[in-house]
Structure 1
Amino acid sequence: MKIAILIFDRFTALDAVGPYEVLSWLPNADLVFVGERKGPVRAHTDRLAISADATFDEVPEADILVIPGGPGQQALMEDSPTHEWIRAVDSTSTWTTTVCTGSLILAATGLLKDRKATTHWHRLDQLATYGAIPTSERVVFDDKYVTAAGVSAGIDMALTLTAKTAGETLAQKIQLLIEYDPQPPFKAGHPKTAPQEILNALLTP
């Protein structure tokens, strides 16, 4: 099973690595990080890099496509080689997935038009600009398109996708293996539960 994970300058590391960790346990999983050019690609903190081991030309198709988000997403909203590659891989993929603002990149290609999708809470309304239907769920399935909300939701997406493709037993085994048992110290992980002053601080320019 070919799994292609897109990486680009200033991506958010967990958007890519969270799904990578889960999906790497799928039977016969062949994962590859793909970029416009081979070599290290810096995450948005500029302290971490992941190597793109293949270029777009070298990965013309995949069973699962994963598109992460991150601040670098804003540079990928116009038609580009990245969009061309996404459309090409999507034409044969079984599942096309996104994490966080990766759904905005996918929406900008036109592939989410009239489809339900989610993204980071702060950017949710922008999906409608590209014809998608914003949905504030943590993981959204619409046909073969699977979108996850902000950053950590990529792990939920990958586990849910594993259950659909390889069964709930394997998905639960993976969840236990990686000890994914969230017990956050604060109720600040969503705008509906975060203290108002914390929300205001993030919304203030």
Structure 2
Amino acid sequence: MLLYPDFTLLDLSGPQAVLGLHGKTHLLWKTLDTVTSDSGPGIQPTATFGDCPDDLDILFVPGGMGTARAMEDPEILRFLANRAARARYVTSVCSGSLLLGAAGLLRGYKAATHWALYDVLPMFGAEAVQERVVVDRNRISGGGVTAGIDFGLVLLARLRGEDAAKTTQLMLEYDPQPPFDSGTPRTAEPRIVKLVMDLLEKDNQQVLRSAREALRATRN
């Protein structure tokens, strides 16, 4: 599970809560220094890129406000491309799929991302699919943030069977009943959608610039 500055904590902790009950997870960064999430709390890496096992069952990338900067980091992209070549599953939640795309790992694959960033995926040769969890061969991607738990359960069912996934869902008491019907732009009031888009505008423009830069780098 990749860490990078300003990743979204729930993108990581949702899948980790599901998968961590059934196997060993490596929290990876360049160093063992604490990596701060975009909401403030930090996570302590358990291994560096150099210490990470060569062959992984799952390579996982979270999204976050730091996605744009991470997309322009050659060391991160090289690491993802290297481990993905041998990983059983190459996966992401939220804008983490854009990092996979920047590393050249989604060309010809269907993928999900945060609802405000679907226009970016085709830049990397991916087919954007607006679903909670998208499975295309060994690429599994979740939509925005809270989709991480759904993603984790889908992946766990493939790894350990449906009974393991159902048992874990019950252990986590994952029975979402949101107080408002405002979780997607399809159901939220237009004024709420506009408010969120205005809040995300600066970051989304930076993601677009970083995507173009990543594409230029791969062509050189």
The TM-score normalised by the length of structure 1 is: 0.94
* Whole-Å separation in 2 of the counterparts to 1:52 and 1:121: 29
1:17 aligns with 2:13: yes
Aligned match for 2:137, one of 125, 136, 143: 143
| Structure (1 or 2) with the greater helix fraction | 2
The answer on whether the counterparts of 1:9 and 1:41 sit within 8 Å (CA) in structure 2 is yes
Select the residue among 104, 113, 129 that pairs with 1:110. 104
Are 1:103 and 1:119, in contact at CA under 8 Å, matched by a contact in 2?
yes
2:14 equivalent to 1:6: no
| 1:53 and 2:49 aligned | no
In 2, Cα distance between equivalents of 1:63 and 1:25: 15
SS across alignment from 1:125: coil
1:93 aligns with 2:87: yes
- Percentage of matched positions with identical amino acids: 38
1:20-69 CA distance string (max 9 Å, x none): 0000122xx11110001112100012x20000121101013311111000
Give per-residue Cα distances to partners, 1:53-91, cap 9 Å, x unaligned.
211010133111110000111012236111111111111
Match of 1:84 in 2: 78
User: Structure 2 residue aligned with 1:152, among 146, 149, 166?
Assistant: 146
The residue type paired with residue 153 of structure 1 is: A
Q: What SS is found at the alignment partner of 2:11?
A: helix
| Aligned residue number for residue 123 of structure 2 | 129
Report runs of 4+ in structure 1 exceeding 6 Å deviation: none
Partner residue of 1:181?
A: 175
The answer to whether the 8 A contact 1:79-1:109 is kept is no
Q: CA RMSD in A?
A: 1.0
Amino acid at match of 1:14: L
Residues in 1 aligned to 2:114 and 2:55: alpha-carbon distance in whole angstroms: 27
Indicate if the aligned counterparts of 2:4 and 2:70 stay in contact, CA closer than 8 A.
no
CA contact (8 A) 2:30 2:48 kept: yes
Residue 203 of structure 1 aligns with an amino acid whose one-letter code is M
Between Structure 1 and Structure 2, the one with more strand by share is 1
- Secondary structure of the corresponding residue to residue 180 of structure 1: coil
For these two proteins, the number of residue pairs brought into alignment is: 198
C-alpha separation between the residues in 2 aligned to 1:78 and 1:144?
25
Cα separation, 2, equivalents of 1:10 and 1:203:
19
CA contact (8 A) 1:61 1:88 kept: no
Which secondary structure state, in structure 2, belongs to the residue aligned with residue 98 of structure 1?
strand
Partners of 2:21 and 2:160 in 1: CA distance:
10
- The alignment partner of 1:30 has SS state of coil
- Residue from 22, 35, 42 that aligns with 2:36: 42
- Cα offset, 1:116, TM superposition: 0.5
